[in-house]
């Protein structure tokens, strides 16, 4: 009985899974250290920030919206939290509360504007991105924060072990936050009323309203959650790069959108899965890592990433295209 609900969604994930498997096989054959624990941990660390954001954006996309402002929100959250930490000696609890609180409030603002303005969410969030980012750079004058509190710089590693050669392996803050983010997103989407309402809203907004799901409230929650996730992810990012720069994150929004969409989340709303998002993310990360291992100059990374995205969206469009040609107007 369990296979039922998955019908109609398997192809995208299956297809992605096969491509990834092929890449892994080829890379392992060419560079045996590709599958080393060290390399895998490094890939996870490097992709954590984008991955956490994908887990939030996935929910926004399923609800039929899009958010472009999360990178600006994350920049504000990390800057504020670590400025406070440096000035007052606040600890983990406080900075998590500050970053999460700022993210949540800005997200709620997005949700409120999307619900009331009656214009596309992409336009609304481009505008809020401009406002948030503009104010952040004006207030901070674009200055980086160079010194971070030592307890923050040390991070929170779990399961620290070392092998015979003295290499240290640890599940870092980045990795457990990434895993947690996807677990929470999966739980919210599949096991809570909120998640089913998000799917319903994305599938047929008018019907969701008629059934009595408070769509305004739902939008507030969806964008609020995205903001919260962005706020918390910003700390993970700051801890990874060991610095805070107000200009470092903005401009990377579309990378996150691309990963979510590669995983099969439709921009029209109503479809998408956590597994797909993870696979979409994995595809990009493994490709970048593989290129580096194969000794391809890092100057060409973007080119290959673009090639993968273009190929993927062209293949994905195949089914829709066949419908368009074979039964124009009948579908």
Partner 1 sequence: MMFLEMRGVSKRFGGVQALSDLDFDLARGEIHCLVGGNGSGKSTMIKIIAGVQPPDPGGRLVVEGREQTRLTPVESSALGIQVIYQDLSLFPNLTVAENIAVAQHRGLTGLVKRKTMRAVAEAAMRRIGVALDLDERVAHLSIANRQLVAICRAIAADAKLVIMDEPTASLTRHEVDALLALTLELKRRDISVLFVSHRFDEVLEIAERVTVIRDGVKLGTFEAKDMTEQRLAVLMSGRSFTYETKERTIPRARPVLSVEGLCKTGEYQEIGFSLYPGEILGLTGLLGAGRTELALSLFGMNAPDSGTIRIDGEPVTFRSNRDAIARGIAYVPEDRLSLSLVLDQSIGANITLPVLDTLTNGVGFLRRSREAGLIRDWIRGLAIKIGTPDDPVRTLSGGNQQRVVIAKWLATKPRVLILDSPTVGVDLHGKDGIYQLVKDLAAQGLAVIMISDEIPEVLYHCDRILVMRDGRLTGEVMAHHVAEPDLRRMVHA
Partner 2 sequence: MPALLLRTVGRTNLRLLALLALLCLAAAPLIGDRLFAPAGLRSMAYQLPELGLLSLAMMVALLSGGLDLSIIATANLAALAAAAVLKAAPEGASGALLVAIEAGALLAGLATAAAVGLLNGTLVGYLRVSPILATLGTMTLVKGLAIGLTHGSVVSDFPPDILFLGSGAVGGVPMPLLLFGLVALGLGVLLTRTPFGTILSLMGSNQQAVRFSGIDTRAALLRTYMLTSMVAATAGFVMMARFNSANAAYGESYLLVTILACVLGGISPTGGFGRVGGLVLSLVVLQLISTACVLLDFSQFLTLAIWGGILLAVSLIGAVRDQLRPLLATLRAPLPRPAGRQTVDAKGPSC
Evaluate whether 83 touches 238 at the Cβ level (below 8 Å): no
Q: Does 277 bind partner 2 (CB under 8 A)?
A: no
Q: Does 39 bind partner 2 (CB under 8 A)?
A: no
Q: Does 8 bind partner 1 (CB under 8 A)?
A: yes
In the three-class reduction of DSSP (H, G, I as helix; E, B as strand; rest coil), residue 168 is classed as: strand
Closest separation between CB of residue 135 and partner 2, Å?
Answer: 5
Q: Does 292 bind partner 2 (CB under 8 A)?
A: no
d(CA 153, CA 86): 12
What dihedral do alpha carbons 76, 78, 83, 86 form, nearest 10°? 180
Q: How many residues are listed for the chain in this entry?
A: 331
Q: Which residues 6+ apart lie within 8 Å of 258 measured at CB?
A: 284, 309
Quick one: which segment of 13-21, 30-38, 67-75, 193-201 binds partner 1 (CB under 8 A)?
A: 193-201
Name the residue with tokens 């419908």: 323
Contact set for partner 2, span 50-69 (CB under 8 A): 68
d(CA 85, CA 91): 7
Evaluate whether 74 touches 237 at the Cβ level (below 8 Å): yes
Contact set for partner 2, span 213-272 (CB under 8 A): 251, 254, 257-258, 261, 267
Q: Does 225 bind partner 1 (CB under 8 A)?
A: no
Q: What tokens does 30 get?
A: 């060419």
Q: Using the rule CB under 8 A, which residue among 203, 243, 255, 304 binds partner 1?
A: 203
Evaluate whether 170 touches 42 at the Cβ level (below 8 Å): no
Residue of 77, 40, 67 lying closest to 178 (CA atoms): 40
Tell me the C-alpha to C-alpha distance, in Å, between residue 188 and each of 119, 191, 195, 201, 220: 27, 6, 5, 15, 15
Contact set for partner 1, span 258-297 (CB under 8 A): 270-271
Q: Does 323 bind partner 1 (CB under 8 A)?
A: no
Tell me the C-alpha to C-alpha distance, in Å, between residue 50 and each of 80, 93, 97, 249, 277: 20, 23, 21, 10, 11
In the shown chain, the binding pattern of residues 135 to 154 toward partner 2, with x for contact by CB under 8 A and - for none, equals xxxx--xx------------
Q: Does 127 bind partner 2 (CB under 8 A)?
A: yes
Q: Using the rule CB under 8 A, which residue among 305, 326, 327, 330 binds partner 2?
A: 305
Compare residues 92 and 324 and give the one whose CB is closer to partner 1: 324
Closest separation between CB of residue 175 and partner 1, Å?
Answer: 27
Q: Does 190 bind partner 1 (CB under 8 A)?
A: yes
Contacts to partner 2 by CB under 8 A: 68, 113, 116-120, 122-124, 126-138, 141-142, 251, 254, 257-258, 261, 267, 297, 299-307, 309-310, 312-314, 316-318, 320-321, 324, 328-329
Contacts to partner 1 by CB under 8 A: 1, 3-5, 7-8, 190-197, 199-200, 202-204, 206-208, 210-213, 217, 221, 270-271, 326-330
């Amino acid at each position: 009985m369990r296979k039922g609900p998955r019908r109609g969604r398997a192809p995208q994930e299956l297809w992605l899974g096969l491509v990834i498997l092929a890449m892994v096989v080829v890379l392992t054959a060419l560079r045996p250290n590709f599958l080393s624990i060290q390399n895998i941990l490094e890939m996870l660390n490097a992709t954590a920030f984008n991955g956490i954001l994908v887990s939030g954006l996935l929910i926004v996309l399923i609800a039929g919206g899009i958010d472009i402002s999360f990178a600006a929100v994350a920049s504000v959250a990390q800057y504020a939290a670590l400025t406070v930490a440096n000035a007052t000696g606040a600890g983990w609890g406080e900075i998590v509360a500050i970053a999460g609180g700022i993210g949540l409030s800005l997200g709620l603002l997005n949700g409120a504007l999307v619900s009331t303005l009656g214009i596309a969410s992409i336009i609304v969030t481009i505008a809020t991105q401009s406002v948030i980012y503009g104010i952040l750079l004006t207030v901070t004058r674009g200055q980086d924060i160079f010194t971070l509190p030592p307890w923050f710089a040390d991070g929170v590693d779990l399961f620290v072990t070392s092998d015979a050669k003295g290499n240290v392996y640890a599940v870092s803050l980045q990795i457990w936050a990434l895993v947690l983010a996807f677990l929470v997103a999966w739980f919210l989407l599949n096991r809570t009323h909120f998640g089913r309402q998000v799917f319903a809203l994305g599938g047929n907004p008018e019907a969701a309203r008629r059934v009595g799901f408070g769509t305004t409230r739902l939008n507030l929650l969806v964008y609020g959650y995205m903001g919260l996730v962005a706020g918390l992810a910003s700390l993970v990012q700051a801890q990874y790069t060991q610095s805070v720069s107000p200009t470092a994150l903005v401009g990377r929004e579309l990378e996150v959108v691309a990963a979510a969409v590669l995983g099969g989340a439709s921009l029209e709303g109503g479809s998408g899965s956590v597994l797909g998002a993870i696979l979409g993310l994995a595809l990009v990360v493994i490709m970048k890592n593989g290129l580096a291992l194969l000794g391809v100059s890092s100057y060409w990374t973007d080119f290959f990433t673009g090639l993968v995205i273009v190929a993927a969206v062209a293949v994905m469009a195949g089914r829709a295209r066949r419908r368009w040609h074979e039964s124009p107007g009948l579908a």
